[in-house]
Amino acid sequence: MANLQFGNKFVRPLRYCSITPEPDHFRKWAGAILPGTQGCAVASNAPLDIRPEAQRRAEQHAAPNIDVIELQRNAHDRPRKGARVPSEQPKELTYDSIEELLKKNVTDRRNVACKVSPRSGEIPVLQPGKESKGCEYTNSTKDPLAVSIYKQHRDQTVQINAKSESGPRKGSGVIVGQEKGTCLVLTDAHVTNGLNVDKKVSSVSVITAAGEKFPATVKKLDPSQDLALLSVKTGAETERVCKPVKVAEDLSSTRTGEPLVTLGSPEYSTSVYASPGKSLGTNQLINTFGEVSNIPGHPYVSQFSEVVRGEDTGRPVIEQNAQVYPGNSGGPTFNKAGELVGVLSRTKGPAHSLTTPVTASTIEALRK
């Protein structure tokens, strides 16, 4: 290729710039700084042949100059490679924007992505007395309490995966405290250790509503009440992810007819659903069983659920008409003030579930 005369110098055409701007895009050309935007640095003996491609090809029968082609693609009115400056400052991240990010991930009970996503202001719901595969929603107009509880406590509701000698299990749980570098999560004993209360639990993990996964260990086990307290290794993320719920001082808000809302992830779903309902009153566990028979290994087997080994069948449980499924076990139940009053223990069938009562003194006893 012919040399190009520049002043009193003869110089070579440039072919090695990754981005080839026009002359007024160069910052350096033959040692001189020229006006313009980001270009490539050029040695003083290697300026660009700036003649039109057609002219150079006609006169020199040279191959196309890739730099010039790239130049045309990177005209000043088009985006260039390199650092990009946002046209505006990012919007503040609010609950609604987080909801927009998460709503596409709502899954049904089989953990299949829902074909229809919730609209703005809607939440996933399991309506009392109504069988559901999931992917149904409600809003604050239809059920203001369920939406309020969901927005307050979704991020404090977690999914638990445990594995022991009796096999893998999935359940739900709720954040009830924090210690240095750890988060305390309350769930059911049968979620972590199984109905046989396996002594060896090989692994426990906790997944937040945002999808963050943390390893955990069983800190305290109380099979008599079907309760377990987990120590979750959140480390440096503890302050950010570990926001304990407020726990009720007493159970006066769970009297018959009082509204309750249970949160959790039904069956294989990784999404948090709200299960609104009403209290049917408090009863002894054994009195909720119906027909009972004895078999080796388990002193009682009911028509709806087996009893945890060592469980006190005379203990009180809150009956409610919330629609729940396996996988909801260990999920939190809240009163209308947004206080934790229990964790889900069992389901007796459609619109009939049993919750283990929880008060502040319950948590204190488990932490000792």
Q: Would residue 86 count as lying in a domain?
A: no
Q: Tell me how far apart the alpha carbons of residues 306 and 18 are, in angstroms, rounded to a whole number.
A: 70
Residue 91 lies inside a defined structural domain of this protein = no
As for how many domains the chain has, the answer is 2
- Does one domain contain both 15 and 134? no
Per-residue pLDDT band for 33 (boundaries 50, 70, 90) equals very low
Q: Which pLDDT score is estimated for 262?
A: 98
What distance in Å separates the CA atoms of residue 354 and residue 347, rounded to the nearest whole number? 6
Q: What percent of the chain has pLDDT over 90?
A: 60
- Over residues 116-140, the pLDDT tens digits come to 999 999 999 999 989 999 999 999 9
Least confident piece of the model among 60-64, 136-140, 283-287: 60-64
Whether residue 254 has pLDDT greater than 70: yes
Chosen domain end from 13, 47, 73: 73
The answer on pLDDT for 82 being more than 70 is no
Structure tokens at 103: 């709503």
* Structural domain boundaries enclosing 349: 109-368
CA-CA distances (angstroms) from residue 226 to 156, 190, 217, 317?
20, 7, 17, 11
The answer to whether 269 and 279 are in contact (CB under 8 A) is: no
Q: What pLDDT score was predicted for residue 41?
A: 44
Name the pLDDT band for 174 (thresholds 50, 70, 90).
Answer: very high
Could you tell me if 214 and 264 lie in one domain? yes
pLDDT at 224: 95
pLDDT at 307: 83
What is the rounded CA–CA span in Å between residue 152 and residue 274? 12
pLDDT of residue 251 exceeding 90, the answer is yes
Q: Is 261 helix (H, G, I), strand (E, B) or coil?
A: strand
Per-residue confidence at 288, pLDDT binned at 50, 70, 90? Answer: confident
Structure confidence at residue 55 (pLDDT): 60
Average pLDDT of span 144-161? 98
Bridge partners of residue 221, in order along the sequence = 228
Structure confidence at residue 134 (pLDDT): 96
CATH at 365: 2.40.10.120
Of 26, 49, 73, the position where a domain reaches its end is 73
Shared domain for 53 and 131, answered yes or no, is no
Q: Mark whether 304 and 175 lie in a shared domain.
A: yes
Where helices occur in 65-222 by DSSP H, the ranges are: 66-73, 95-103, 144-153, 189-193
40-44, 205-209, 332-336, 341-345: range with lowest mean pLDDT:
40-44
Claim to verify: residue 128 and residue 207 sit in the same structural domain: yes
**Bridge partners, residue 218, by sequence:** 230
Of 195, 214, 157, nearest in space to 340 by CA: 157
**What is the per-residue pLDDT for 105?**
81
Q: Of the residues 73, 99, 131, which one is the last residue of a structural domain?
A: 73
Asked, for residue 285, whether it belongs to a domain, the answer is yes
Give tens-digit pLDDT for 39-49.
444 444 444 45
State mean pLDDT over 99-120.
82
Q: Are residues 171 and 239 in the same domain?
A: yes
**67 and 113 co-located in one domain:** no
Within a domain: 68: yes
Q: Are residues 177 and 228 in the same domain?
A: yes
Place of tokens 């739900």: 172
User: What's the confidence (pLDDT) of residue 351?
Assistant: 80
Q: What is the CA radius of gyration of the chain?
A: 32
Is residue 304 within 8 A of residue 290, CB to CB? The reply is: yes
Inside any domain, residue 93: no
Environment class of residue 204 by beta-carbon count within 10 Å: exposed (0-12), middle (13-18) or buried (19+)?
Answer: buried
Q: What is the mean pLDDT of residues 290-317?
A: 66
- pLDDT grade for 57, boundaries at 50, 70 and 90: low
Q: Are residues 148 and 273 in the same domain?
A: yes
pLDDT, the chain, mean: 79
Length of the chain: 368
Let me know whether 195 and 249 are in one domain. yes
Instruction: Kindly state whether residues 60 and 115 are assigned to the same domain.
Output: no
Q: Are 284 and 258 in contact (CB under 8 A)?
A: no
